[in-house]
Amino acid sequence: MADASLSVLTICGSLRKGSYNAMLQRALPALAPSGMTLKPAPSFADFPIYNADIQNTTGFPAAVNALADAIRAADGVIIITPEYNFSIPGGLKNAIDWVSRLQHQPFAGKPIALQSASPGPVGGARVQYDVRRAMVFLDAFTLNKPEIFVGNCVSKFDEKTGELKDETTRNLIKQQLAAFAPFISRVAGKG
């Protein structure tokens, strides 16, 4: 039997309030299978830009430890992110760069799923493959399929409420979350 309750952390790669990726992140709990609880990760908005000299003098900032602890405590992590300049947004990469330096690197062995929303037709594919690559280095296990690329995203959310209204997208996300639950159990050896 699959694990009865899974706690999944969601990390959003955009920091702006009106972000489509933040809207997507907020849509997830309603689309998750029963037994899966999703909660937003502590913010990385105020992390300093990574510099080993900070780490070696004053240590890891408290906010970095808070994010790392939340990742460690979660059964799985979903990263929902825009694509900036064909790749990973600096802020998200900075969060990864900081936590990657911790002794108990929190992404090691962690099940990961990726989603992206973008106004263009490619839907953030390039950022996803770059995050996958960084996650390989960090020894995380990234779910292969289904992939979620919310392309032409402006038309897929309600302009006023920010609600994800596109039915096809909602169904795909449901499928991804339904696939993520057994993936987490398998990675955790609870098959």
Nearer of residues 15 and 179 to another protein, judged by Cβ: 15
Instruction: Specify the residue, 1 or 45, whose C-beta has the smaller distance to another protein.
Output: 45
Should residue 85 be labelled a site residue for another protein when binding is judged by CB under 8 A? Answer: yes
Size of the site for another protein (CB under 8 A): 34
26/4 Cα distance (integer angstroms)? 23
Query: Does 86 contact another protein by CB under 8 A?
Result: yes
Query: What are the beta bridge partners of residue 33?
Result: none
In sign, the C-alpha dihedral spanning 172, 175, 181, 183 is negative
Residue in 126, 165, 170, 174 binding another protein, rule: CB under 8 A: 126
Q: Using the rule CB under 8 A, is 157 a contact of another protein? A: no
Scanning residues 10 to 39, which ones bind another protein (CB under 8 A)?
14-18
- Which residues on adjacent β-strands are paired with residue 76? 8
Kindly state whether residue 44 participates in binding another protein, applying the rule CB under 8 A. yes
